[in-house]
Amino acid sequence: METLVAVPPDAPPLAAIGHATNVLRGALDELHASTVSDSELLAVLGSVEEMGRLVDAARVAVAADAAHRSRPDLGHDGLAWRAGSRNALDLVTRTTRVSAREASQRIKLGATLASHVDVLGVQPSRFPVVAAALSSGALGTDAAKLIVDGLDSITHICPVDELDAAERSLVATATGAITDETIGLPGEGIAFAADLMRGQVEVWKARLDPDGSAPSAPTVEPRSSFGFARLKDGVYPFRGGATPEWRGVLDALVDTYLSAHSATSFPSAAEQARIEAGEVVPGADILGDDRTIDQKRADILRGIFDGTARDPGTPRMGGAAPQAIVHVNAVDLIENNGVGWLDGVEVPVSLETVKQLI
């Protein structure tokens, strides 16, 4: 790695950024994940993400600044016009080569968090705690967008002090900071991942605006639905939606099965005999499982339905338990050539599927 000379503190921003880029490039060139220990890899994982958050915060700020300098009221004096772009979005996408969606999100978030000037002078950010945590690298843009969008939707009906408390609490939850709102609570000092922050934002919205979270009287109660779309790429896409309570039941049920499958288990006498005979390698069925989590969920649901079909309490049709009937030509089955057909399904299934059903 080449020797880099420190940049003076009063160096122009562009020179400082160029120096930092070279330092970072050199450090990453020296990083080989396969040569570091597990503990070092975890430390590098966190450090690289922290650097990424700092860069993301700068991306948001400069995109919003570029948009502000390209606002329509400036006309031909706007930055976008002078740079040969149609508008601020076009300017940012051309310069950064990111998608229009990403550029739009950066501009929107940056504009919401930036301070602004009006007839009364310079006004602070509407969400100063989020802005400070974002610029310091403690908060990621994904969590910042969740917090800002959630609170922004109820600013018109909530007192300022309650919104401030919600903002402080949500930022503390996302960063692991301890504030007056989080001290003594379960999870105090633990930083929540962005996916978990979505639920935390909804909790605060429900607390600050209970009427908005609960359906009003004339609103039709939502209901879950389930069906199949047209066959595509060999599968029938599911069609419908789940209410929150049904989603909760399904998640709890599937998670229980996933946990049970990953738990330590002991082989039966027959399985132990196969292991001793060399026919089965202990744990190989788990190590060789290349299914995605969604594929596992689908298999679990199928297993649940199969079990329900055999349950004595399940309604019968003509005295028989619900069952899928497969038809196959005997000659095709013997010669291992052909397909099978299931009642009510207009496309064939492979002989491999037929054999599994048999």
Phi/psi of residue 175, nearest 5 degrees: -110, -10
| pLDDT in the model for residue 103 | 96
- Is the confidence at residue 27, as pLDDT, over 50? yes
**Residue 5: pLDDT over 80:** no
Report yes or no: 339 and 353 within 8 Å, Cβ to Cβ: no
Cβ of 137: how many Cβ atoms within 10 Å?
18
> pLDDT band at residue 1, thresholds of 50, 70 and 90?
very low
Q: Work out the average pLDDT over 178-201.
A: 84
How close are the terminal C-alpha atoms of the chain, in Å?
Answer: 64
Average pLDDT, the chain: 82
Say whether pLDDT at 32 is over 70.
no
The DSSP secondary structure of 283-343, one letter per residue, reads THHHHT----HHHHHHHHHHHHHHHHHHSTTS--BTTB-----EEE-HHHHHHT-SEEEET
pTM (2 d.p.): 0.64
- pLDDT score, position 286: 52
Written as six digits, the tokens of 297 are 């969920």
Q: What is the pLDDT of residue 217?
A: 46
pLDDT for the residue 278: 60
Between 107 and 43, residue with greater pLDDT: 107
Q: What region does 140 belong to: left with phi over 0, alpha with psi -120 to 50, or beta? A: beta
Region 57-70: mean pLDDT is 95
User: pLDDT confidence of 216, banded at 50, 70, 90?
Assistant: very low
Q: Give the highest mean pLDDT range of 156-170, 175-189, 213-227, 232-246.
A: 156-170
Mean per-residue pLDDT, 279-304: 70
* Selection from 106-115, 151-160, 221-230 with the highest mean pLDDT: 106-115
CB-based contact 240:222 (threshold 8 Å): no
Average pLDDT over residues 331-335: 89
Domain boundaries, the chain: 31-114, 119-221, 324-358
Q: Which of 52-61, 205-214, 292-301 is predicted least confidently?
A: 205-214
203 pLDDT above the threshold of 70: yes
pLDDT of residue 116: 73
Is 120 a residue whose pLDDT tops 70?
Answer: no
User: What is the arithmetic mean of pLDDT over 37-43?
Assistant: 86
Kindly report, residue by residue over 234-291, the tens digit of the pLDDT: 888 888 888 877 778 788 888 887 776 555 455 566 766 666 666 655 554 555 567 7
**Is residue 355 scored above 60 in pLDDT?**
yes
pLDDT at 292: 81
SS (H, E, C) 281-293: CCCHHHHCCCCCH
- Average pLDDT score over residue span 213-227: 66
Is the pLDDT reported for residue 180 higher than 90?
Answer: no
Q: Is 75 left (phi over 0), alpha (psi -120 to 50) or beta?
A: left
* pLDDT over 80 (residue 93): yes
Residue 7: pLDDT band by 50, 70, 90 thresholds? Answer: low
Distance CA 246, CA 241 (A): 9
pLDDT attached to residue 127: 95
Q: What is the pLDDT of residue 118?
A: 62
Three-state DSSP at 130 gives helix
